[in-house]
Amino acid sequence: MTPEESYRWLADHSRETALLISVEQLLGWDQRTCIPPKGHAYRAQELALLARLVHERLTDPRVGEHLERVEGSNLTADPESAEAVNIREWRRTYDRITRIPRDLAVALAKAGADGQTAWEEARPNNDWRGFQPFLERLLDLSRQQAEALGYTTEPYDALLDGYEVGETAAGLEQLFVSLRKFLVGLLDAIQGSRRKPDETIVHRHFPRILQEQLCREAVTRIGYDFAAGRLDPTAHPFSTGLGPGDVRITTRYDENFFNCAFFGAMHEAGHALYNQGLPPEHWGTPRGEDVSLGIHESQSRMWENMVCRSLGFWQGFFPRTQEVFPALRDVALKDFYRAINRVAPSLIRVEADEVTYNLHIIMRFDLERSLINGDLEVRDLPLAWNAKVQEYLGLTPPDDREGVLQDVHWASGAFGYFPTYSLGNIYAAQFFAKADEELGGLEERFAKGEFGPFLQWLRANIHSQGMRYRPRDLVRRVTGEERNARYLQDYLARKFNDLYGLK
């Protein structure tokens, strides 16, 4: 068999596997949006079966045989070609997945589905003890996964590498130490300011049906295609790309808090714009997939914060918002802008402001790293969580519902995921600065309702590239320099010094 024939076999195999994964994702979307309560047990079996089938396909020995034929062939002569990129990433996936025994992969999938169901029941009931056994099971399986994958320094690195290739806990720790120092200093300055935004503005009554209407209008304005997606309610907002023409978003509604649904929808729309911008001709192969969670998060955080929390955005969109919500008709634009950007330590990560958000992430990174490395046991997690919240944010959770039970990630076994949120913020600021430099006056464009040029810039430089470049390589090619947290620090200092009258 020639290298070209082996490549065609690999491509067909990859696309068929992607179809199975999209079915798995569709069942996951249904489980988190509209499955009947009695359907969860059977859903866990369905997801476990699909996980087994996907694992069998990914570990098929024929994949390894065909990879040996194409590697080093003329197909890889140009390392940036679609063929070379696909071969590189198929090899990475094959080497990684074949280290995980099939029984472990199935057990992880079932435990993740069971854990998510248990979390959805435990959180509203503040039932840590009921959830604890599920998390203990997931932690045990995740430690087994880390051992199976292998690592050089610590088990956590093996899991982290699955979300952000090439990253290590030690490298992130170094990055986060300096970032945390900056954030704490900025937060101290803000808390010492005499300027106090009126937070009651965003805690008026906002009927859910009108919130959904405004969310749909706003995500449409920035470019989200409803002919290729939908918006649904959920307990924990997420976006899922099921394939070309089907990229769905969700949000969570609170009739007494404007920010919750609106910025949740804009965040997930940022993810969805990335998925809708991936090259459809390469769907089912790495060249048509997003490069990493950190880069993906850069898109969501960029649209949520740098676009949709900007003064320019609201200069254009606030009049329409006042039309929809009579409760805001007596509010001045500058007061609304200050209210939606109010900085104050809070307990809930998804509702955190831009300054304190990364402190939430860094503390979760510390905790899950300790869990995976064996320095912290699940039974001690609530106390460790509360201690970290006090250390990082100066607050004490009143219960586990607003503490250790607030996130779904660990409930599904996603250890190593959290750091990608802060990496996303760092990437976002660097990308945004470059786009503003090249396009000029982005905020003025937003005030006029012009989002197309910015979206097209992202499509050309990031979305359409798929997995052509690894995360750090992509940052370097787009911005002309290495990853640099200074852009995030400069952005936050500039915005919040102005908002709070500092310096």
Minimal CA–CA distance to 347: which of 397, 382, 303, 387?
Answer: 397
Helices 3-33, 61-70: axis angle to 10 degrees equals 130
211, 198 in Cβ contact below 8 A?
Answer: no
Angle of CA points 109, 115, 116, to nearest 5°: 95
Torsion of CA 419, 420, 424, 430, to 10 degrees: 70
Provide the pLDDT for residue 92.
Answer: 96
Provide the pLDDT for residue 351.
Answer: 83
Cα–Cα distances in angstroms (integers) from residue 459 to residues 103, 202, 273, in the given order: 40, 33, 9
Alpha-carbon distance of 23 to 4, in angstroms, equals 29
Minimal CA–CA distance to 410: which of 27, 33, 122, 86?
Answer: 122
Strands 239-243 and 231-233: unpaired
Give residue 377's pLDDT band: very low, low, confident or very high (50, 70, 90).
very high
Alpha-carbon distance of 155 to 369, in angstroms, equals 9
Q: Which two tokens stand for residue 209?
A: 């049906």
Alpha-carbon distance of 246 to 253, in angstroms, equals 23
What residue spans of 394-466 are helical by DSSP H? 419-439, 442-447, 452-461
pLDDT digits (tens, 9 = 90+) for 458-475: 999 999 999 999 999 999
Alpha-carbon distance of 474 to 124, in angstroms, equals 41
Report the half-sphere exposure of 266 (CA within 13 A, side-chain side). 23
Provide the pLDDT for residue 102.
Answer: 85
Alpha-carbon distance of 220 to 265, in angstroms, equals 11
User: Exactly one of 268, 289, 304, 354 is catalytic; which is it?
Assistant: 268
287, 466 in Cβ contact below 8 A?
Answer: yes
Residue intervals of the chain classified under CATH 1.10.1370.30 are 169-499
Residue 232: φ, ψ to 5°? -135, 160
pLDDT digits (tens, 9 = 90+) for 16-26: 999 999 999 99
255, 270 in Cβ contact below 8 A?
Answer: no
Q: Mean per-residue pLDDT for 293-317? A: 97
pLDDT digits (tens, 9 = 90+) for 390-416: 999 999 999 999 999 999 999 999 999
Alpha-carbon distance of 216 to 269, in angstroms, equals 10
> Per-residue pLDDT for 236 more than 90?
no
Average pLDDT, the chain: 96
pLDDT digits (tens, 9 = 90+) for 268-301: 999 999 999 999 999 999 999 999 999 999 999 9
Alpha-carbon distance of 136 to 378, in angstroms, equals 6
Q: Is 243 helix (H, G, I), strand (E, B) or coil?
A: strand
Q: Which residues pair with 141 in a beta bridge?
A: none
Provide the pLDDT for residue 431.
Answer: 98
91, 83 in Cβ contact below 8 A?
Answer: no
> Per-residue pLDDT for 503 more than 80?
no
pLDDT digits (tens, 9 = 90+) for 70-109: 999 999 999 999 999 999 999 999 999 999 998 998 899 8
Architecture per CATH, domain 169-499, reads as Orthogonal Bundle (1.10)
Q: Mean per-residue pLDDT for 325-348? A: 97
Provide the pLDDT for residue 182.
Answer: 96
Give residue 129's pLDDT band: very low, low, confident or very high (50, 70, 90).
very high
> Per-residue pLDDT for 245 more than 90?
yes
* Active site (annotated) includes residue 268: yes
Provide the pLDDT for residue 9.
Answer: 98
Which residues have a Cβ under 8 Å from the Cβ of 148 and sit 6 or more positions away?
Answer: 99, 100, 101, 104
Please state whether 471 falls in left (phi above 0), alpha (psi between -120 and 50) or beta.
Answer: alpha
pLDDT digits (tens, 9 = 90+) for 178-211: 999 999 999 999 999 999 999 999 999 999 999 9
DSSP state letters, 55-116? HHHHT-HHHHHHHHHHTTSGGGSSTTSHHHHHHHHHHHHHHHHTTS-HHHHHHHHHHHHHHH
232, 248 in Cβ contact below 8 A?
Answer: yes
444, 190 in Cβ contact below 8 A?
Answer: no
Provide the pLDDT for residue 1.
Answer: 87
Provide the pLDDT for residue 143.
Answer: 97
Strands (E), 214-300: 231-233, 239-243, 246-251
Q: Mean per-residue pLDDT for 226-255? A: 95
> What own/partner pairs with CB < 8 Å and gap ≥ 24 does 348-352 have?
348/402, 348/406, 349/406, 349/407, 350/236, 350/237, 350/252, 350/264, 351/257, 351/259, 351/260
Give residue 235's pLDDT band: very low, low, confident or very high (50, 70, 90).
confident
Q: Mean per-residue pLDDT for 373-390? A: 97
Burial 299-310 (b: 16+ CB within 10 A, else e): bbbbbbbbbbbb
Which residues have a Cβ under 8 Å from the Cβ of 200 and sit 6 or more positions away?
Answer: none
pLDDT digits (tens, 9 = 90+) for 40-65: 889 989 998 998 999 999 999 999 99
